[in-house]
């Protein structure tokens, strides 16, 4: 089963950026949660969001 199939999009309503406490948006193609305020993309691995700053990808 792919990560896209196992990620519960309802979880997105409960999650916030760990740095800004702001909203996140889901990028299904890259399997990431995007924090526009922090300019970071948090990966989703095996359906589990990795909400650690050191694991996030900086947005350009």
pLDDT digits (tens, 9 = 90+) for 13-58: 889 999 999 999 999 999 999 999 999 999 999 989 999 999 999 9
pTM (2 decimals)?
0.85
- Residues 6 or more apart in contact with residue 41 via CB below 8 angstroms: 27, 30, 32, 33, 34, 35, 56, 57, 58, 59
pLDDT for res 6 = 60
pLDDT for res 13 = 84
């Amino acid at each position: 089963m792919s990560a896209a199939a196992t990620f519960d999009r309802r979880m997105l309503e409960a999650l916030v950026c760990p740095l800004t406490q702001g909203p996140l948006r889901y990028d299904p193609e890259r399997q990431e949660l995007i924090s526009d305020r922090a300019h970071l993309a948090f990966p989703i691995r095996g359906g589990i969001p990795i909400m650690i700053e050191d694991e996030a990808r900086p947005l350009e």
